[in-house]
Every structure is written in C-alpha cells, then in structure tokens.
Structure 1
Amino acid sequence: MNINDNLIKHIPVNELFLDPMNPRLGELGGKTITQQQIISLIIENFGIDDLLSSMAFNGYFDAEPLVCQEKNGQLFVIEGNRRLVTSLILSGDPRAEEYAKNFKYFIKLHRDQGSRNVSELPVVIFPENEDPGKISAYLGIRHIVSTKDWDSYAKARWIHETIINKKISIKDISTMTGDKSGTIKSLLSGYNFMTQLEQERKFKRDNTVRKGRGSNVSYPFSWVYTLFNYPTARNYLELNFFDENEQPNPRPIPQEKLDDAVFVVDAMFGNSETGQSALLGDSRELPRFAEALGNPEKVYFLKQGESLKDVTNLTTDINTRLENIFFECIKLLQEGSNRIIIDKDKISDTTIIESERKIKNVNEVLRMINKQFTELKIENSDGLEL
C-alpha cells in the first residue's frame, strides 16, 4: 500500500478509537474490553515513555499517519495504537484522564513547548468494506518483517485470524511478507498447538509457573514454536501441523498424544495446580529437551519429575560423566583457591573453622573414589590372560 497526501485526513483524537482486537494485545484483548482498559494494557505491557518524550517536545509527525478502518460508523486504529494512547494523554482526552498524574512531567513539557499538535492526527482510512487482503498485506509487512515488530504471539495470532477471518492462505501470507525461512508456518503451528490444548481443557493459562510477557503474559510462547522446529519433538507427539495441500491443521495433536503434549508443556512452564515445577532451567535447554524427547529413557526420568539437567547427567555415558565431574570439581576448587588469595581479608573466622570439616569430607570422598579405581584396576589385571 502506497500512502500519499490524497489518502491522508486529519481527524480529532476524540473521534479515534483504540482497536480492542489489536494483535499486540494478544490474550488480553477482546471485543468487550473498554478503551480505558486498552490504554492501561498498552502502558503497562508495552510502554509509551519513548513516544511521550518525543511527542511532548515535537508534537505529532505527519510523516507517520495512523491507519484506521471504519467499523459501524467509528474509526478504529489498526496501526498506531501506542501513538494514539500517547496523544490521548498529552491532549487531555477523558479516556486517559486517570493516567495524567503518572505522566505530568511529559504533559508539562508538552505545554512548555507550546502544546504542539497532538489533538488532530493524520490518518489513513480503510472503509469498512475494504478488501481484507489489502489490509492484511499492509499490517503483515508493517509488523511481521519490518522494524515495527510485534512479539511472536501477536504475530501468530494475526496469522491465525488472517487465515480464518479473511480467508487468506498461509502461502499468500508467506509471500506477501517475504518469508522464505518458514517463520510464518512455525508461528502458526505453535499457536494451533496451544489453542488445541486450551480447547481440549488440557491447559490452563493461569496455572503456569514460568510466565511470559508482552501480548502473552501466561507463558513464553516463543518456547513452543522453537521446540517444534526440532523433528524429535514433533515426532514424539506425532504432530501434523499441515495437510498434504499445505493447509494448516487447527488440531495438530492426535487424541492419543494429548497427555504427552500436556507433559511437554508442563515440563517447559510448570503447573501450579499439580505442584510441578518447570523441568527446564531456561530457553537454552530447548535443544537438549527436544533431543531428550527422542530418547525413551530420558522421557521416563523426566516424567518422574527429574529436571532436564539431572536427566542429562543420569543418562550420560559413565566415562563422559566422570570426566565432566572431575573437570567441574577442579574448576570450582580452583575458583575457591583464587578467591581466598584475592579476598583473604574478608574471610571470617567462622568460615575458616567450618571449612576444616568440609575439606575433610572432600578428602574422604576423593580417597573413596581413588580406592574404587584401584580395586577396578586390580580386577582388570586379574582378568588378563597370560
């Protein structure tokens, strides 16, 4: 979509409405949400301080028009909701009056700069009957591949709604956004996976221990689609994200694999209802988790509640594990020695006294390991043929 001066109109802010279905709002948005609630969500989850500072000093730049669509005789902003919230605050719109005290510095700055225009904004208006493809193409390019980025869950939700409500194919979305790496399909796959679990009442957002941020505060959505980029994870759950015609499958989890899917999600995010902690420490463990899902022994231990780190240690070859243990011990003991040299004046008498017992225990364990290796050496020598 090319924007030119003939398309731009200047509209008073009191005639512009925040979009309750803005993908940026993610799980928090919806048709029943009020304008005041949208303002609160945008301020609390996405922040507007950067815009407040710029617009309080400079006013609104005509070079960045808002994009609206007419719906039931009202103009809803489908591109530029953060900028509209900022304008509502600086212009004293009643919808934002309860936030005035929080941003009085910027309001004063705006007034001191001569109250440069924030009350009548440049707007590009799509009519209510506009071709959905044209709007989707504009928003897709704007937020999927440009610097005005949505977070991953907002992108996934937009892709899903564009396919379902606007009848645009996954192939066309990938083409119009220039996606050649499969990101669009990956995002949609993760979205459909989690949506099915919710619809099957197998997953409750409020029960997660590890929380997300942005448009999805319930869990880090990026973990989901990242995990399923690994074939071992997809194969473990026998997932079928697309049919032979590349049409997305809204229910990619086979019924017989739903409980295993719950296990995978709980392992990543924990479950406060069952008292289960997350079995992964952070997102860097996702590749190892995907690999573990292809190993029945590791899956068994994970299902017993062992952390991924402990499972990795339990199932690592004994020779490799022993080598790693020795390296870790040497590294930690060397660190202790170095710290004693550097911070010797800070070490308390209590620490010195208590360390005697601990050093004795370390020596006893080392003597035990040495004895075990000595006995193994003798056993192996006795078994040699002469």
Structure 2
Amino acid sequence: MAKASPDKIQTIPTDKLKFDPENPRFYRMSSHASDAEVVDEMLEDERVQDIMLSIGQKGYFPGEPLLVTGPDANGFYLVIEGNRRLTATKLLNGQLAPSSRREKSIETIKAEVMVQPPVDLPCLVYTDRKEILRYLGYRHITGIKEWDSLSKAKYLAQLRDEFYSGLGSVEQFKSLAKDIGSRSDYVSQLLTALNLYAVAEREKFFGLPIDANSIEFSYITTALNYKNICVWLGLDSKADTEMPKLDIDRLRKLFAWMFSKDSNGYTVLGETRNLSEMADIVASEDAEKVLDETGRRDEAYLYTDGPLAALTRAIDDAQAKLNVVWKMFSKPTLVLSAEHLDKADTLFNLSKDIRNHVRNKVEE
C-alpha cells in the first residue's frame, strides 16, 4: 500500500485540480478526453449525483482527502484517487457544467443545496502516480469501492508496467496477485481478456455495429473459462496474454455473437450462461457453419453432436410441440377458425413430406 506523503494534508483550490486521464474507470475514453467528456462518463456510471446531494446537504467530509500528484509547471495537480468527489464538487461550485441532457437533474440538485459548496479540497500530495498505484488495488479490487472487471484489468496492466515489466509472465501474475490479495489465475485471465479487448479496439471493433459502450467486458473474461473457446481463438489457455496465434477472424466472430444486436435488441449469445453452448458450437465445424448461416444459437447447438444427432433432436422437439398442441384441443372453450385449419393443413403436409423422405431413404 502507498505510504502517506511526508507532507500533511494540503488544501488545494479545485480549479487547480485536474482529472487523471489514466484512471482505469475512464477506459472507454481517449487519454485526451475533455473535462466535459469525463463529467458525462462520471454522471453515466459513477452516481456522482449521490455525492453531490451529500456534499450539498452536509458539506464535504474532510476525512477523505484526494490523492494527487504535482504540482506541474503550471501549478496544476493531478487527482489520482477521488475523481468522483472532484466532479461532484466542481459541478456544485460551478467550475464545471453538465451536458444538456443532464442539465435539468444537476440544476435540481444545486437548487436544494444547504451548505455552500467548497472551492478547495483536502489533498494528500505524492511525488508521482506510481506511489499511489498499489493503494488503488486494495481500495478498488479487493476493497469497499470495487471497480468493474475492465477497470480492474486496466489497473493491473498499469501496475505490471510500472513495477514488474522486467519479470516473466508467470512471475508477473504471482506478484500482481500478491499486490491485490487475489489469485494469479484471476490476474492472468483479466490481462488476457484486456489484450483481446485491445485488439478489437485497435481493429475498430471489426466494423461491427458496436462501440466501446456496447462491450460488457465480463463476457470476455467469462468466455475464457471455456477451453474450447480459448483453443478456437488460438490461445494456449486463458493465461496466454501474449496471444501469438490469435485468430483475428474468430475474435471478430466472437465479438459479433456477444455484442452485435439485431433489430429487436438481441444478441446471438444472449446471456453469459449460454457461453457453455457457444463453447460446444465452436468445437464443431457443422455447428459453427450453421451459426454463421442462420445466426441462431439454439439451432446451431443441435449440430454439436453432428448432423444426424441434430436431426433426431429436431424431430423429438417437433413431436413434443405437436403433443402440446394436441392436448390444447381438450379445452372445451377453444373456438377454432379457418386460420387454424390452414395452419393444421400446412403441418400435415410438411409432416407427410418428412415421413415420405425418411421412408424413401430407409428403403434405398
């Protein structure tokens, strides 16, 4: 954990405090993001409004100083820990303005302020960002203010590059695991998933109708739990952070299945629990081909044991559904129409064609 700065807590004007462009929470944003973009991201994901309400009603709690580095040549300090509190304070004291779509809600909060918002904040000043990195791990990975999985992965990558770049990958994983009080396999899995995400980002998400906000990073990390998916992607394991044999085309497919939505807002994958089916599908050429052709996971899954088994399953499913239909006729209140008769004729003719085809094949 980072040691306290030799200096005591300093009070620094908020207009001299800048957001940290490398903050793992801002993973979807460019390192050159404007303050307005940072504020929008914070208001979207970080519940800054709750902090504004607290500060506006009770004042700023001095027992939570910001952790900063600086000053730079222009007298500015970089806020490494405490960007949410900084955003809330600057919105309250008028040094930042929300976007138009957030303006009404923010003005409502400001109108209810009971305590004058501060124009300076308590800070602990460190020499450089590196001194604070390890503390962030305890606070946001194993601590009370847990980051999402992509933010954790970004943080681990920063920690690795700052402290363990000279070590082999196995030693890196072990060292990082000790730093955050976790397991090395968890660390390696996060870093592998981060590298897959970075490839997709570099490839501009393969021209798919998705962007950074469409990506649920935990889906990528969960997919790596399935050996079939790792092998299919060209990875030796979920700890293959270097990925020398990564198949880019298959990574594009995986992102399309997991994150591209159809006109009804559904993805091919659906929920993460369906990744077990996807793992079986990618292990079968027949099943994968069907998925490519139809975009239907449930249909492709029928082929995971081969076309003959798929046919048997499909016939069994059809029979089960027809049994349900037949049982419905036992309800005396049913009022049948000509439309029902047309549909029944279609089913009858299709069933007859299937029966005749199977009989001909058997008798050949």
Shorter chain as denominator, the TM-score bin is 0.7 to 0.9
Structure 2 counterpart of 1:77: 79
Deviations 1:298-330 (A, max 9, x none): 122223343212212355544444333344455
Structure 1 counterpart of 2:10: 9
Are the equivalent residues in 2 in contact too, given 1:91–1:119 (CA < 8 A)? Answer: yes
Structure 2 counterpart of 1:310: 299
* CA distance in structure 1 between the partners assigned to 2:329 and 2:56 by the alignment: 54
Are the equivalent residues in 1 in contact too, given 2:193–2:220 (CA < 8 A)? Answer: yes
What's the secondary structure of 2:155's corresponding residue? helix
Structure 1 counterpart of 2:195: 192
What's the secondary structure of 2:69's corresponding residue? strand
After TM superposition, give the deviation of residue 296 of structure 1 in Å: 2.0
Are the equivalent residues in 2 in contact too, given 1:189–1:241 (CA < 8 A)? Answer: no
Letter aligned with residue 325 of structure 1: A
- Closer, same or farther: CA 164–337 of 1 in aligned 2, 3 Å: farther
Structure 1 counterpart of 2:174: 171
After TM superposition, give the deviation of residue 363 of structure 1 in Å: 6.1
- Closer, same or farther: CA 70–284 of 1 in aligned 2, 3 Å: same
Are the equivalent residues in 2 in contact too, given 1:205–1:218 (CA < 8 A)? Answer: no
Are the equivalent residues in 1 in contact too, given 2:230–2:237 (CA < 8 A)? Answer: no
Structure 2 counterpart of 1:269: 259
The root-mean-square deviation of aligned C-alpha atoms, in Å, is 3.9
Pairing partner for 2:147 from 146, 150, 161: 150
Structure 1 counterpart of 2:235: 239
Matches within 5 A, 1:297-336: 297-314=286-303, 317-328=310-321
* CA distance in structure 2 between the partners assigned to 1:337 and 1:154 by the alignment: 57
Pairing partner for 1:290 from 279, 287, 292: 279
Structure 1 counterpart of 2:340: 358
* CA distance in structure 1 between the partners assigned to 2:126 and 2:325 by the alignment: 64
Pairing partner for 1:109 from 109, 112, 117: 112
* CA distance in structure 2 between the partners assigned to 1:297 and 1:8 by the alignment: 65
Q: Which runs of 5+ in 1 are unaligned?
A: 345-351
Structure 1 counterpart of 2:122: 122
* CA distance in structure 2 between the partners assigned to 1:104 and 1:375 by the alignment: 71
TM-score computed with the length of structure 2 as normaliser: 0.78
After TM superposition, give the deviation of residue 144 of structure 1 in Å: 1.4
- Closer, same or farther: CA 85–336 of 1 in aligned 2, 3 Å: farther
* CA distance in structure 2 between the partners assigned to 1:44 and 1:358 by the alignment: 50
Structure 2 counterpart of 1:347: none
Letter aligned with residue 64 of structure 2: E
- Closer, same or farther: CA 232–60 of 1 in aligned 2, 3 Å: same
Structure 2 counterpart of 1:207: 207
After TM superposition, give the deviation of residue 45 of structure 1 in Å: 4.1
After TM superposition, give the deviation of residue 192 of structure 1 in Å: 1.0
Are the equivalent residues in 2 in contact too, given 1:17–1:75 (CA < 8 A)? Answer: yes
Are the equivalent residues in 2 in contact too, given 1:10–1:121 (CA < 8 A)? Answer: yes
Q: How many aligned positions are there?
A: 345
* CA distance in structure 1 between the partners assigned to 2:254 and 2:125 by the alignment: 45
- Closer, same or farther: CA 21–358 of 1 in aligned 2, 3 Å: same
Of 309-318 and 157-166, more deviation after overlay is shown by: 309-318
Deviations 1:6-51 (A, max 9, x none): 7433322222111122111103130x22323322332234342211
* CA distance in structure 2 between the partners assigned to 1:10 and 1:328 by the alignment: 71
Pairing partner for 1:230 from 226, 229, 245: 226
Are the equivalent residues in 2 in contact too, given 1:11–1:122 (CA < 8 A)? Answer: yes
Are the equivalent residues in 2 in contact too, given 1:16–1:76 (CA < 8 A)? Answer: yes
- Closer, same or farther: CA 330–192 of 1 in aligned 2, 3 Å: same
Deviations 1:211-261 (A, max 9, x none): 6xxxx414222221211111111112221468xxx8x644x1516x33233
Letter aligned with residue 286 of structure 1: L
* CA distance in structure 2 between the partners assigned to 1:104 and 1:135 by the alignment: 34
* CA distance in structure 2 between the partners assigned to 1:188 and 1:138 by the alignment: 19
- Closer, same or farther: CA 196–89 of 1 in aligned 2, 3 Å: closer
What's the secondary structure of 1:155's corresponding residue? helix
- Closer, same or farther: CA 40–187 of 1 in aligned 2, 3 Å: same
Are the equivalent residues in 1 in contact too, given 2:67–2:79 (CA < 8 A)? Answer: yes
Of 143-152 and 190-199, more deviation after overlay is shown by: 190-199
* CA distance in structure 2 between the partners assigned to 1:261 and 1:140 by the alignment: 30
Whether 1:217 aligns to 2:213 is: yes
After TM superposition, give the deviation of residue 183 of structure 1 in Å: 2.5
After TM superposition, give the deviation of residue 172 of structure 1 in Å: 1.6
Letter aligned with residue 81 of structure 1: N
After TM superposition, give the deviation of residue 87 of structure 1 in Å: 0.4
